Structure 1
Amino acid sequence: MHPPFVLDGRSLTPAAVADVARRGRLVTLAPAGRARNADAYAATGTIVASGGTVYGVTTGVGPLREVAVDRHAGDASSRRLLRSHAGGGGAEMTIDLVRAAMVVRANQVAAGGAGLSPGLLDSLVDALNAGLVPAVRELGSLGTGDLSVLAEIALALLGEGEMIAASSGRRAPAAQALEAAGLRPPELSLRDGLGFVSSGAASIGHAALVAVDFRGLHDASLAVGALSFDAGEADTIVLDARVQAARPHPGQMAVAERMRQLLGEGDEMPRATRTGASVHDAYPYRCFPQVEGAMHAVVAALDAVLAVELNAASENALIVAADEVALPNGNFHGGVVALALDALRAALAQSATLAAGRVSLLLDAGFTGLPAMLAANPGPDSGAMILEYTAHTAAGEVRWLAAPVSAQAISVGAGVESHGSLATLGARVAHRAIERAQEIVAVELVLAVRAMRMRGRRPGSAPLRGVYSIATAELPASLEDRPLHADLEAARRVLHGLSVVPA
């Protein structure tokens, strides 16, 4: 187990979010992060005591922003706001998504713009470390602050609603779960209601997990793609360094270089030698570095967005402790995250379509020179024919899921909140698209291994022999007609180990 991750409001990464959300890594607050929040908390008190206006503290929220609120109401006012905003619908969020939202929110508060009461921040961190997960519903965020999700998390920290034990999945009333863990609900300040929920932490946390999963899929896709090149005896000249230098997109160049490493070749690649090879192959192989290069580029762009978002103060109003002012702003708006996720899904749709095309080519006797449908006895046997249908069905869904969510028009709150990014929806749809794309890569792996077995040889490079050994240890060797569910399940397991294949 790694040492606790230090939440300093400066250095949270998608990988660290995944460690906390999925593997239970503990967290601790950096003294500097704790101090920044404490300073903002004190500054809020000074502003309110001097008669200043702080949105959501001395006023109502949304279309009620002009209504004055009793500035001495404290705990009662914050509880009222949290309860009124806990109106999420739909299915419950999974444990990892809620934990991702929690760790992101804690780190954002450590950035220093929220000014939460120290007790509420400690309660958030303590619940994370105790493995207590609030039961939270997925609908209710328009991508301009994840209000309902964060309100439900905050209420659970106060002992309202339900909590789930991350280790066992057992549910209990929140008050009971906190007591069993030796935790006490905090008292709230006037700032804690809106101060806690004015954030896109759920969208950002989900996007961080999407980035981790997408990168894993991309890395596995390259390993499977290289095996597919070898098994199909496709023309690797398209990976030649001279080709990439003529159009030097960084992603394209990086993908081609990785493929050359996997295939055990230098910068200058050999031409295809298979019988009947064309002057050049069809797009699924010929355009591999261009399409997968786009995948490389979009996840790098998402990582750059998240490097800022995971460590940014996103609250409205933003408390600037040094100046003792509360600044109205739109830092909660998730447009930049939604746009990055839209681009990611669009690139994934291209990759999925190309991978499904390679599936079709691996089943084509005219391309591989192997028996049609990779069947032991074509005609009486159908071989792996049905897997082409599976791959193209999944590719169709990935393309459907690529529709941009950020272009939708939204206006709520009597026109005050007249724009929404739907970043949370973008992350949720991206998660689904990745799952479907994994199915296509799993099919390609099954067929590449089957083709290699039918050729009666092992891959030509040491890295690919490593990939092949991992795959053949899991995939059934029989070529007879039989249900292929087990093959796909085995291939999905194999994919998780293919993102770390040495070159």
Structure 2
Amino acid sequence: MPAIVLDGATLTPAAVVAVARHGQAVELAPAARARNEAAREAIASMLDRGQALYGATTGVGALRDRTIGDSDRERFQWNLLRSHAVSAGRPLSAEQIRAGMVVRANQLGAGGAGVNPALLDGLTQALNAGITPLTREFGSLGTGDLPGLSEIALALLGEGKVWRDGELADALPPREPVTLGLRDALGFMSSNAMTAGHAALLSVDAGAVHDCWLEVAALSFEALHADPVVLDPRVQAARAARGQAAVAERMRELLAGAPFDPHAPHRLVQDPYAFRVLPQVDGVANDALHGLNEVLKRELNARPENALIDEGRAFATGNFHAAELGAALDALRAAFAHSASLIAGRVSAILDPRMSGLEPFLAADPGPDSGHMMLEYTAHAAAAEARSLAAPMGAQSVWASLGVESHASLAATAATRTAELLHAMDVLVASELVVAVRALQAGGREPAGAGVRALFDAAAEVLPAGSEDRAFGLDVEAARGLLASRSAR
């Protein structure tokens, strides 16, 4: 496959996934390299004129009032990287670190930092060689991923640990010695690239989960004879909500050709909320996904540095603050938590003989057999986990660096919570798939919807035949594996 060109302007979540998860090569666009060099020359010119520059001639944070003399500048740059390399806890996954690396390389190519070319080239070379610096989970407050980026920079310069060929090893020094100067350290670390990269991975994963749960929901519609009138375009037009209309349209595609019998046994004049308000609730999730992707279009290609170098000048900025990204991740979790409750509700409805017309819990012989009684517990436990993770990180408070840094987005923590929520959603959607397929089979039916037959057939192949009691947790794991294999991640 051709290399992904990092031009500082067009990086997408899909491209981040291709590099971070699938190992696609990268190359830096000549114009991006030139922009970084122009910014570097501007910094050198400022310092030659004796101009004060944050992170070059001054300390950082609460130490911004301390002057760095000419003789201390190289030592200061090294010390800044080393003192900020304080991530702790569990190691981040290789794909998460690689995602941050490709985002930072692209941002540096946007031209706001002006770092030593050895650092910029080191990022792309490490990505292409499959070398991943070791960094850990805790340290970022969402006002710059300072610990993680410091550790990556040090690894590129020969300090710290890296993953190489699947083994943890000492970082190797670059072929040519690198002299740090100007404001190389702060220029490299002044970014939320690690969080933005993680969010890019999450946006793709969340989109895949969203697509999967709509497919499975369509199977549940058929299994329970749910009324598709709630998906009618006229219903959506009455509210004119973008996400609601998009979800309803997708559900109509999935159910195209499926007959609906309003006189089927156990039909009520209106279905339970888990079916009736699906477009409205899942539409919010669709909107949240759309919103996150809009934020990422900006964040992956931003110039977040403080100070920003532009047109030969240095501008003090707050572009390192990831409030917008953190809020988008918070919104995604809140929206998905609503949908989680609906999914669990559909599981309960399918297992309810008053709704399905089938045996309680789809048991083969109710009494001696319990059927999927406990799978309802599993589904609701996963939904509860999703809801517990929906609390917004933006509501938290931070007071750091002697009060100079008195606010933080905590976007990195919001991303971690989002990953945990998506894991719970995987379990939840798989649980619904198991009961929807079992309900159709128990009723002696096959789905007729144009968009769901392939999923039903695939599930019927991987889920054990027979309705007798067994360890149904294995069915859920088989369903999880199937859904993961079908999703574009």
By the TM > 0.5 criterion, same fold?
yes
1:24 is paired with a residue whose SS is coil
Query: Which letter maps to 2:441?
Result: R
Mapping for residues 249-264 of structure 1, pairs under 5 Å: 249-264=241-256
Pick aligned residue for 1:390 from 359, 362, 378: 378
In 2: Cα distance, 1:274 partner to 1:36 partner: 67
CA deviation map 1:109-138 (0-9, x unaligned) = 000000001121101111111110111011
Contact 1:48 1:71 in 2 (8 A): no
Q: Percent identity?
A: 51
Alignment partner of 2:457 out of 466, 469, 475: 469
Match of 1:174 among 171, 174, 184: 171
Tell me how far 1:247 sits from its aligned partner.
1.1
Pair 1:237-2:229 in alignment: yes
1:258 partner letter: R
Q: Which residue of 1 aligns with 2:126?
A: 127
Equivalent position to 1:448, from 427, 436, 439: 436
Aligned length: 488
Query: Which residue matches 2:323?
Result: 335
Alpha-carbon displacement from aligned partner over 1:452-480 (angstroms, at most 9, x marks no partner): 11111211123221111121121111211
Answer whether contact 1:342 1:402 (CA < 8 A) is retained: yes
SS of 1:471's partner is helix
Give a deviation string over 1:398-448, Cα, whole Å, max 9, x none: 111000101111110011111000000000000000110111100000001
Q: Which residue of 2 aligns with 1:433?
A: 421
Of 274-283 and 461-470, deviating more is 461-470
Alignment of 1:390-429 (within 5 A): 390-429=378-417
Q: Which structure 2 residues correspond to residues 96-495 of structure 1 after superposition, within 5 A?
A: 96-165=95-164, 168-175=165-172, 186-265=178-257, 270=260, 272-320=262-310, 322=311, 324-495=312-483
SS of 1:496's equivalent in the other structure is helix
| TM-score computed with the length of structure 2 as normaliser | 0.97
> Counterpart of 1:128 in 2: which secondary structure?
helix
Q: Distance in 1 between matches of 2:481 and 2:49?
A: 61
- Cross-structure match for 1:45: 44
Q: Equivalent residue for 2:12?
A: 13
1:424/1:123 CA distance change after superposition, 3 Å = same
- Mapped to 2, the partners of 1:27 and 1:240 lie a distance apart of 45
Report the Cα distance in structure 2 between the residues aligned to 1:188 and 1:221, rounded to whole angstroms.
50
1:452–1:271 Cα change, 3 Å:
closer
Q: Which moved more, 1:185-194 or 1:26-35?
A: 185-194
SS at 2:415's partner residue? helix
Stretch of structure 1 that moved more, 360-369 or 455-464:
455-464
Partners of 1:161 and 1:376 in 2: CA distance: 59
The runs of 5 or more residues in structure 1 that have no matched partner are none
Q: Distance in 1 between matches of 2:126 and 2:178?
A: 12
Structure 2 gaps, min length 5? none
2: CA distance, partners of 1:452 / 1:282: 19
Deviation at 1:40, TM superposition (A): 0.3
Deviations 1:32-53 (A, max 9, x none): 1010001001111000111011
Q: Distance in 2 between matches of 1:407 and 1:186?
A: 42
CA 1:305 to 1:271, structure 2 compared with 1: closer, same or farther past 3 Å?
A: farther
Offset from partner CA, 1:187-229 (integer Å, 9 cap, x none): 3223111111110011111111111110000000110000111
Stretch deviating more after TM superposition (133-142 or 489-498): 489-498
Aligned equivalents of 1:186, 1:247: Cα separation in 2: 60
- Three-state SS of the structure 1 residue aligned to 2:403 is coil
Q: Name the CA distance, whole Å, in 1 between partners of 2:484 and 2:256.
A: 22
Check the 8 A contact 1:162/1:171 in 2, yes or no.
yes
